Structure 1
Amino acid sequence: MCAQAERFNGVTQALPSGTVLIAGGGPVGLLLARILSFYGVKSVLFERNLTTTKWPKMDLTNARSMEIFRKIGLADSLREQGVPGDIDQNVLISTGLSAAKVLTQWELPGVDKFRERILKTNDGTQPQEPWQRVSQAIFEKWLKAICDEDPLIDLNYGFKVESVEESSDILKTIVTNVATGTQTVWSSDYVAGCDGASSKVRTSLSIPIDGGPIPSCALLVHFKSRDLTRLHKQGRFWHTFLLGVSGEFEAAIISQDEKDTWTTHLFLPLDAEPEKIDSYDAVYRVLGGLYGPYRIEIDEILVRSIWRPNIAVARTWVGSTGRVFLAGDAAHQNIPTGGYGMNMGIGDAFDLGWKLSSVINGQGGTGLLKSYELERRPVALRNVEQSGVHFNIHGGLKDLLSGGDPRRVDGDDEAALALRKRIHEYYQLHDGENKDLGIEMGYRYNSPVVICREDDGVEPEFNPHKYTPTTWPGSRAPHLYLTDGTSIFDSFGKHWALLVFTNQEVGQTHIVTAARAAGLSLRQVDLSGEDDAKRLYERNLVLIRPDHHVAWRATEMLSLKVAKGVLEVITGRLDSSSESSINQATKTEKPKDVFTSTIDIDAQISSFTLERMAEFQQ
């Protein structure tokens, strides 16, 4: 760091052409740097803190995110940091640890059982990778160490991005050395704002954000305890959700590592003065639920904080010049239920990373960069919605327990047993908090760089609870294992892939020839002998993007001219805001118009629009 700091002397510094400036060294900024490096692009990252976070924050890297980490060769390394695969991750619903037993539970598999399910259910409905429990504090430290060793990544901790100024020819980013107060202006071609909910990149560009905090706050206590006998009194758990003395959902405890590290969240009204609550008392109150403090042996309080749940999405994710981008919490914030926040940020980082790299490396046009917001913002809107749905499920306990002392639910009489049965059935019916594969894998990109043909038919219905495998353009391609036991995703390679499901010539040569002429890295994959895959993939020819999403599909490619037109569109080289120019170049290919697509996507998010965000905050 000393050698780096010598360069920061208050003068203007110009980054080499093609180098990306990243604001923020959290998980999204670090991952974006690593993805850019994966595709051969340099980056310089500035983070105001001196090291990675001490806060637990995210504790589950979901299945879709683990697919991304496998793509860049880091999945196995990440698993080494997390909870062992043989440990299940059940979620308990409890009136308090003083009670004899839990109200109900969600039985969620650990990595090993999840992987067994994937192998046994080889029909395209499963992800390539199971999820992985790992605290964000461990996650960031692990990823920073990888980036530290990467020659294409220049990490600068202790340097705060103050603002970004856009002009027609260059971007100027003002950075402050936190230790000395010295400011430096950095010029660059591109800036990625991965600098969190209070993003200086977003605010300096006056980009509005819709939504905000909901009328509640939470006291977080992160601590060490080896008092497993008392903590596991009702069974081993990943999460336990607990009632408060009023009979409403009030708190949660999270097992971070299945050894000795835990986090409690005590939800309070805004006038509760949580700063006056002792950390030890907060933990005892959380665990006691309906029955008053439940004491355990606490070895060490690691950190505590007071936070407010936010539901918000930035109105635009791209600056006026099309060269400044928002990702992660800078672009969206949601309630933690469902674990969508950081996992959305991982998706942002990969989408932005491969597209920026394609443009910088000459394999894509600016249309790719324009598609970033069009593809990722609708995902954020849907996921913000779903996090609120999950949060409100726990709120339903209040209605179920109304009409008397809530502790009656722990009795042994017929009325108590009937009440417990209703609560059990309620939670089993609404068990999607970490099981909704539709919201995690079923989102579909709808943008000018995705080509839909007339014979693609009606777009499949989106269901947040269930993932239905399809290659309808824009979808994440279905995963399955091939007849030789290998993963179909692994056959795609690093860049673009053309999947061919016939041994006949149906125009694949035209696509390969057009790709070679355009300098596009494209791998042809012969899957003519894979009957199950052919059934799932629905067409003879399927073009897969670097992010596993389908860009185009057809039964045959008609000519070299059409092939060239298709590649120009999906790589963002053709201005597809003009439908006539697309149709002229591709003839039978008919991608959706950019403006129509965006409106259609927002219309599909009917149950939780930005107006609903405002209502939820009241």
Structure 2
Amino acid sequence: MGSIKLPSETEILIVGGGPVGMFAAFRLARLGQSCVLVEKNTYTTVHPKMEYTSFRTMEIYRHIGLIDHILPHGVPETFPMDDIYATGLGDKNFPEPIARIDTPSAVKLRKIWAQSNDGSHPREPSMRQSQIIFEKLMKTLVEKEPLVHAYWGYSLESLIEDDGLVSSTIVGSSGDPTVIKSRYVIGPLELAYVHFRTKEYEKMQSKGNFWHLTMVNGVLVVAQDEIDTYTVHRIVPPGVSFDMEKPVEFINDSLGGIGGHFEVTVDEVIAHGKWRSELATSESFRSRKGRIFLAGDSAHQLSPVGGHGMNSGIQDAYDLSWKLAAVLHGWGGKALLDSYDRERRPVAELNKRMAVKATMEVAIPRLTKAQEIGMDNLNADTEYGQRCREELRDFVLPGRWIHDQDGTKMGYRYNDSPIIIPDPSTPEPPTSITKYFPSTWPGARAPHVFLSDGKTSIFDLYGPGFTIVDFTDAGKASEMFVTAASKLSIPITRVHLPKEAHCKAIWERDVVLVRPDGFVAWRSPLQEAEEAGPGEIQKVLLFVAGRSG
């Protein structure tokens, strides 16, 4: 490892080869931008961490051509994403679940969404896939990208930032330091469970098929692949030690819930350890001198409740990568990089609030309520026991919103962005945790709608740069955008849809300018779009490309 010669300079250095770092490298390469990635480990993670990829992240994977590499290795789309709430596994526990929260499979959701086609649904359903699998896939893909120069077994020792460059000292296993000079640095940093395999599927699923099995005493079991891989999480009270040398005993003690020890044959302990649920957001996602950017865990650490953690990090990288590439390719201006913190930090704060809300209003109260009712009462095969279980069920079911956060995950808007042109002609659309209101309000995610052929999504017509969508018959406005963008060397794709009345009704305007990340940068006023002249269109393009200052 020490004999490998690292480069002495690069335009972008990515520190950390976790999911966010590798995604950023892959995205930059697809935008034609080279980078260097260093990761202290020589292997990808063996810790389960994340097993849920949100529909917004799946849309991103689709847009950049990643989904065909990732989706076949997730849990098959025929499986639902059900949550079960029970006393535990085994004969010492009440045989039926206390509550079940059903979520349709991705196959069913695709059919439901296609029939509705009202713009309120994502282009892709969520996916169940362990971070272990995701990182292995991404490492293979990153190593195939000629514009990504990845070095495993190298860590960042220190860095010095001045107004022109960042000097990063990188150290490998030999201990010899190498200084890499770069224009920019992306720095995702780092942060009781047992991850295991068992062939005893019927015993594990004896309460019914599940994605999450939550027990009344706070144990959480995650079915990772619908085959043989599970993760057990258990709350460890302060001052109580968990014997890391006996993970099988921990598994069997945990699976029994309040009924006590429940024996399953553990074929393999893949990983075990501890993590701390932290909720923090960096004061800034960019260094004072402007050349170091934070993404993922270095920018925000979120509780896993609600599934915002890694998904937020991927979305950070998606936002940042096109802006860095634009600046380095010469068509993006200073305001693009200024916008990163102003766009992504409020989203991280929103996700932090949602994680706190889910923890304080759902996860902890469920456990407290179960303790209040009494574990023996919940397990009793009596009429009173049944009433106790029904009481807890009625308490548990309203908390299903933590898995139904369509509004949080698709409805956030970049209202304070310096590269978004506001539309004062109409009120801002409403917001909701669970419901997404489709809109092309500037700063919002442009809605996914199938066109009149029932197969083509407007989402799939976006180009790698800006996309100008024109619903007018003549299409003159979009032609003028293309002409102006060409003169300014701004990449743009023209999508002319003169006969798509249904899509136009959802998109609300004649002409809409969509950014490389699928968010609306500008939309035409309510009057005829052709009224905009070449001079005004040029001003729009310069502003959204960060070059108006």
- Asked whether the two chains share a fold, i.e. TM above 0.5, the reply is yes
Deviates more, 1:27-36 or 1:99-108: 99-108
Find the counterpart in structure 2 of residue 161 from structure 1. 156
Q: Does 1:572 align with 2:542?
A: no
| Alpha carbons 1:497, 1:545 under 8 Å: kept | yes
Q: 2:507 aligns with which of 526, 532, 537?
A: 537
What CA distance in whole angstroms lies between the structure 1 residues aligned with 2:373 and 2:521?
57
Find the counterpart in structure 2 of residue 135 from structure 1. 130
| Alpha carbons 1:166, 1:320 under 8 Å: kept | no
Q: Does 1:91 align with 2:91?
A: no
Q: 1:349 aligns with which of 309, 312, 317?
A: 317
Query: Per-residue displacement from partner, 1:337-395 (whole Å, max 9, x unpaired)?
Result: 11110001110111111111111112211111110111111111111111222223022
Q: 1:53 aligns with which of 45, 58, 81?
A: 45
Q: 1:563 aligns with which of 514, 525, 537?
A: 537
Alignment of 1:294-305 (within 5 A): 294-305=262-273
Q: 2:342 aligns with which of 352, 360, 374?
A: 374
Superposed displacement of residue 400, structure 1 = 3.2
- Supply the AA of the counterpart residue of 2:466: W
What CA distance in whole angstroms lies between the structure 2 residues aligned with 1:545 and 1:524?
12
Find the counterpart in structure 2 of residue 293 from structure 1. 261
Deviates more, 1:290-299 or 1:21-30: 290-299
In the alignment, structure 2 segments of 5+ residues that lack a partner are none
Q: 2:72 aligns with which of 62, 66, 80?
A: 80
Q: Does 1:107 align with 2:97?
A: no
What CA distance in whole angstroms lies between the structure 2 residues aligned with 1:505 and 1:38?
30
Find the counterpart in structure 2 of residue 454 from structure 1. 424
Query: Per-residue displacement from partner, 1:441-488 (whole Å, max 9, x unpaired)?
Result: 111112010110321x22222212111101111000110111122011
| Alpha carbons 2:15, 2:189 under 8 Å: kept | yes
- Supply the AA of the counterpart residue of 1:38: R
Q: Does 1:186 align with 2:180?
A: yes
Q: Does 1:397 align with 2:366?
A: yes
Change (3 A) 1:136 1:404: closer
| Alpha carbons 2:514, 2:521 under 8 Å: kept | yes
Superposed displacement of residue 404, structure 1 = 5.1
Query: Per-residue displacement from partner, 1:62-103 (whole Å, max 9, x unpaired)?
Result: 111111111111112211111111112211111111320111
Deviates more, 1:65-74 or 1:115-124: 115-124
Find the counterpart in structure 1 of residue 201 from structure 2. 228
Find the residue that maps to 1:396 and give its secondary structure.
helix
What CA distance in whole angstroms lies between the structure 2 residues aligned with 1:548 and 1:57?
28
Percent of residue pairs bearing the same amino acid type: 35
Give me the CA root mean square deviation: 1.7
Find the residue that maps to 2:335 and give its secondary structure.
helix
In the alignment, structure 1 segments of 5+ residues that lack a partner are 198-218, 245-249, 576-618
Number of aligned pairs? 539
Deviates more, 1:421-430 or 1:514-523: 421-430
Find the residue that maps to 1:268 and give its secondary structure.
coil
Query: Per-residue displacement from partner, 1:224-243 (whole Å, max 9, x unpaired)?
Result: 11111211110111111112
| Alpha carbons 1:496, 1:544 under 8 Å: kept | yes
What CA distance in whole angstroms lies between the structure 1 residues aligned with 2:424 and 2:182?
42
Superposed displacement of residue 276, structure 1 = 6.1
Superposed displacement of residue 278, structure 1 = 2.5
Superposed displacement of residue 167, structure 1 = 0.5
Q: 2:520 aligns with which of 534, 539, 550?
A: 550
Deviates more, 1:366-375 or 1:83-92: 83-92
Find the counterpart in structure 1 of residue 4 from structure 2. 6
Change (3 A) 1:402 1:184: closer
What CA distance in whole angstroms lies between the structure 1 residues aligned with 2:67 and 2:178?
37
Find the residue that maps to 2:256 and give its secondary structure.
helix
| Alpha carbons 1:25, 1:195 under 8 Å: kept | no
- Supply the AA of the counterpart residue of 1:162: E
Query: Per-residue displacement from partner, 1:35-59 (whole Å, max 9, x unpaired)?
Result: 0001000010000001111111110
Q: Does 1:243 align with 2:216?
A: yes
Superposed displacement of residue 414, structure 1 = 4.3
- Supply the AA of the counterpart residue of 2:441: W
| Alpha carbons 2:373, 2:388 under 8 Å: kept | no
What CA distance in whole angstroms lies between the structure 2 residues aligned with 1:151 and 1:128?
30
Find the counterpart in structure 2 of residue 607 from structure 1. none
Alignment of 1:469-484 (within 5 A): 469-484=438-453
Q: 2:234 aligns with which of 256, 266, 269?
A: 266
Give TM-score scaled by structure 2 length.
Answer: 0.95
- Supply the AA of the counterpart residue of 1:461: P
What CA distance in whole angstroms lies between the structure 1 residues aligned with 2:113 and 2:159?
45
Query: Per-residue displacement from partner, 1:134-190 (whole Å, max 9, x unpaired)?
Result: 11011000011011111000110000012221101211011111x111111111111
| Alpha carbons 1:25, 1:46 under 8 Å: kept | yes
- Supply the AA of the counterpart residue of 2:545: T
What CA distance in whole angstroms lies between the structure 2 residues aligned with 1:468 and 1:461?
7
What CA distance in whole angstroms lies between the structure 2 residues aligned with 1:66 and 1:411?
43
Q: 1:387 aligns with which of 348, 355, 370?
A: 355
What CA distance in whole angstroms lies between the structure 2 residues aligned with 1:234 and 1:505?
58
Deviates more, 1:403-412 or 1:105-114: 403-412
What CA distance in whole angstroms lies between the structure 2 residues aligned with 1:562 and 1:405?
69
What CA distance in whole angstroms lies between the structure 1 residues aligned with 2:542 and 2:356?
40
Superposed displacement of residue 506, structure 1 = 6.2
What CA distance in whole angstroms lies between the structure 2 residues aligned with 1:420 and 1:443?
37
| Alpha carbons 2:30, 2:64 under 8 Å: kept | yes
Find the residue that maps to 2:234 and give its secondary structure.
strand
